[in-house]
Chain A
Amino acid sequence: DTGVSQDPRHKITKRGQNVTFRCDPISEHNRLYWYRQTLGQGPEFLTYFQNEAQLEKSRLLSDRFSAERPKGSFSTLEIQRTEQGDSAMYLCASSLGGLVWGQETQYFGPGTRLLVL
């Protein structure tokens, strides 16, 4: 298994455009997370899926943001009408739930770096 993958790795867009990112989790992982990280800061939680169900959304996730995980496999994160403040690294992570309680670790992908001009 090659780990969590994300595509694209870099995206430059103009303000007002829509962008979509893809995340492919580790194949047997049932949980998937999206985080956003700006320079010099720790990641900030955006949303969480268990299988195909989106169970949690941060208040950071405005109505311009939408995430899906059809069939409980890969996930997409779409940002509509991008703003300069959306420029950040978008990280996806996955984990395997149902193990011995507390042992669950989130494994991160390489991230998609977004620059909004």
Chain B
Amino acid sequence: GEDVEQSLFLSVREGDSSVINCTYTDSSSTYLYWYKQEPGAGLQLLTYIFSNMDMKQDQRLTVLLNKKDKHLSLRIADTQTGDSAIYFCAESMSRNDKIIFGKGTRLHILP
């Protein structure tokens, strides 16, 4: 069945890189996403990657996909206090399909 797993917490020092990991079970996932949720807010799409890609970079964000291991990661370079939020990994099978979310990783920034 469809399932997305990610660790619940991550603490990183300001200025360091944050790496948030995620595994998914359905090998037919076509789209893999990273969403950010700040307190009291909805979800903001950070980036997404197609299953036929290995890597995608967008400014401070780097997404790595290992399709063989069904492992997705999000690296945030030079982590800032404004990056403190919950990060959700998600997948969908096709363009018009529902999105399956992980439980979210709470990123805490240490001074």
Is chain B found bound to chain A in the same assembly? no
Chain A positions within 8 Å of B, measured between CB atoms, are none
